[in-house]
Amino acid sequence: MRASLRALFAEAVRAVSPIVAMPLVLPSAPHGRTVVIAVGKAAAEMMRVVQARSRGAAVEGLVVTRHGHLPLTGANWPNVEVIEAGHPYPDDNSVRAARRALKLAATLEAGDRLLVLLSGGGSALLAAPVPGLSLADKQAVTRALLQSGATIEEINRVRKHLSLVKGGRLAVAAGHAAVTTWIISDIPGDDPSFVSSGPTVADTSNLETAREIIARYGIEVAPAIHTALADPANETPDPDSLGLAGAETVVIARAADSLNAAGKMAQALDYQVTSLGDRLQAEARHLGASHAALSRRLAKDGIRRAILSGGETTVTVVNKAGRGGRNLEYLLGLAIALDGAPGISAIACDTDGIDGTEDAAGAIVTSDTLTRAAALGLDPAAHLAQNNAYLFFEALGDLVVTGPTLTNVNDFRAILIDAEA
Model pLDDT for residues 226-275, shown as the tens digit of each residue: 999 999 999 999 999 999 999 999 999 999 999 999 999 999 999 999 99
Closest CA to 203 of 173, 161, 155: 161
Whether 271 and 391 map to the same domain: the answer is yes
CB atoms within 10 A of CB 203: 24
Let me know if residue 45 belongs to a domain: yes
Q: What is the CATH number of the domain that holds 385?
A: 3.40.1480.10
Q: Is residue 142 part of a domain?
A: no
Q: Are residues 56 and 197 in the same domain?
A: yes
d(Cα 386, Cα 111) in Å, to the nearest integer? Answer: 56
- Based on the domain organization, do 65 and 178 belong to the same domain? yes
Q: Residue range 84-109: average pLDDT?
A: 97
Q: Please give the tally of structural domains in the chain.
A: 2
Residue-level pLDDT at 201: 97
Same domain, 196 and 273: no
DSSP for residue 129 = B
CB 229 within 8 A of CB 208: no
**For residue 229, what pLDDT is reported?**
98
Residue 109 contacts residue 177 (beta carbons within 8 Å): yes
Q: What does the pLDDT average to over 118-140?
A: 96
Q: List, for residues 348-392, the tens digit of each pLDDT value.
A: 999 999 998 889 999 999 999 999 999 999 999 999 999 999 999
pLDDT at 421 over 50: no
- List C-alpha distances in Å: 12 to 66, 78, 188, 194, 237: 21, 33, 16, 22, 36
Give the domain range for residue 366. Answer: 255-417
The tens digit of pLDDT for each residue in 141-161 reads: 999 999 898 999 999 999 999
137 and 129 Cβ atoms separated by less than 8 Å? yes
Q: Are 177 and 48 found together in one domain?
A: yes
Both 311 and 188 in one domain: the answer is: no
Q: Are residues 280 and 339 in the same domain?
A: yes
Residues 356 and 399 placed together within one structural domain of the fold: yes
Judge if 56 and 186 occupy the same domain.
Answer: yes
Question: Against a cut of 0.85, is the pTM above it?
Answer: yes
**Confidence category of residue 419, pLDDT binned at 50, 70, 90:** low
Assess whether 363 and 264 both reside in one domain.
yes
Q: pLDDT averaged over the chain? A: 95
